[in-house]
Chains A and B, each alone.
Chain A
Amino acid sequence: KKMASKIRVVLRPVKSIVVRFCPFESNVESTRKFLGCINHKKVQATNRNCEVTADVRHDGSEPLIDVMFADGERLIMKGANLTTIEMLTALGSKCNAKELMEEQKSKKKSP
């Protein structure tokens, strides 16, 4: 079983991450752990420009993670029934896919 803090996500294509949750609810544990893992030194070091904001509300809304990529794409994850590892791997795979696309683009431009 993997530990959530071991998963390394490369945040280069990410512009900003907004984590919204209501701490008095009972389904926020995975979202909070996700926030903790994202704020790790090594993950933050991959992209210093990425702003991670935590939005703490008290209106009974479900936990939400809103990721804005540099090319305008948006990834919304509703963390109520997801585990931390699932969310981290999903974000990681998205980032890797974007990186590959960018590499291919740059290879095409400069033959």
Chain B
Amino acid sequence: ATAANMAALSGGGGAPWRRGWLPALQFVRRGSKAVTRHWKAMHFQRQKLMAVTEYLAPRPAIPPRCLTPRKGRVEEEDNGYARLLRRQVEEVFRDNRMIAVCQYNSMPGEDVVLMRHYLRKHNIEVKFVLNEIVRPVLSQSKYKNLLPLFVARNILLVSPELKAKEMLRVLKGVPQINLLGACIDNTILSRQGVENLAKLPSLEVSQGQTVGALALLPSQTSSLLQRGSAYLTALLDEHIRQLQARETGSPAEPAPAQSSG
């Protein structure tokens, strides 16, 4: 109470032109000061004042939904890492004969390592790629038709040799990787195409088949041409045999020259 009186007296003394008393008494009675370490509710009048004077953001005349959206800014990739990755992708596309694009659904780690190991044995490398890096590279190169493949998570299986059969066998053992398409020797193939390629016989066999097919016609021609003289020789042989049979049967000897005609 003494402190309250002192406050009132000093308030009165500090502003001698005011003939009133400062209503500081009511606050001090509660027991805590104005600045506390715990959260203290504001006075009700102060609460009302704060609520009334809250900041309201100015609303634009036309809501932004109605305006046509501005074109998203095209970020120039000055990021050195992205440039490096892009260069790597370009190299990959240049160096390898067979590039297969597969969808990657999350696989347990050991399976990934095993699959990599099996594919390594056939000299097939597994590369994880990011779509945002591959897309600009592809759109500038001649592989525009591979663009729609690169959505969602993908991996690339690249190899300088064509080992479609082995690759398909390994991928069959891994259910979480789905072959989408491949670019083999600059030819874009779908999954069906890759399977057909795997079913093709090897190069030597197909070469032998081609040679056989090519040699078929001339051999037919030659056999046709030789048919007349072959028929004649066959007839003569038959005649000689008949004459010899008659000779052994009866001692008469007809000259074999008479029969020629």
Footprint of B on A, CB under 8 Å? 23-26, 28-29, 32-33, 35-36, 38-41, 52-54, 56-58
When distances are taken between beta carbons in the complex, the residues of chain A under 8 Å from B101 are 23
Set A24, A29, A38, A39: member contacting B181, Cβ < 8 A: A24
Set A25, A28, A41, A54: member contacting B108, Cβ < 8 A: A41
The answer to whether B152 touches A36 (Cβ under 8 A) is: yes
Nearest B-chain residue to A23, judged by Cβ: B180
Contacts A24-B148, A24-B181, A29-B152 hold; do A35 and B108 have CB atoms under 8 A apart?
no
When distances are taken between beta carbons in the complex, the residues of chain B under 8 Å from A39 are 105-106, 176
Q: Is the interface of B mostly helix, strand, loop or mixed?
A: mixed
Q: How far is B158's CA from A2's CA once the two chains are assembled, in angstroms?
A: 35
Footprint of A on B, CB under 8 Å? 101, 103-106, 108, 145, 148-149, 151-153, 175-176, 178-181, 190-193
The answer to whether A26 touches B148 (Cβ under 8 A) is: yes
The answer to whether B148 touches A54 (Cβ under 8 A) is: no
A-B contact pairs, 28 of them (CB 8 A): A23-B103, A23-B148, A23-B180, A23-B181, A24-B148, A24-B190, A29-B151, A29-B152, A32-B152, A35-B152, A35-B178, A36-B103, A36-B105, A36-B152, A36-B153, A40-B105, A40-B106, A54-B103, A54-B178, A56-B179, A56-B180, A56-B190, A56-B191, A57-B191, A57-B192, A58-B190, A58-B192, A58-B193
Contacts A56-B179, A58-B192 hold; do A23 and B149 have CB atoms under 8 A apart?
yes
The answer to whether A32 touches B191 (Cβ under 8 A) is: no
Q: How far is B172's CA from A53's CA once the two chains are assembled, in angstroms?
A: 12
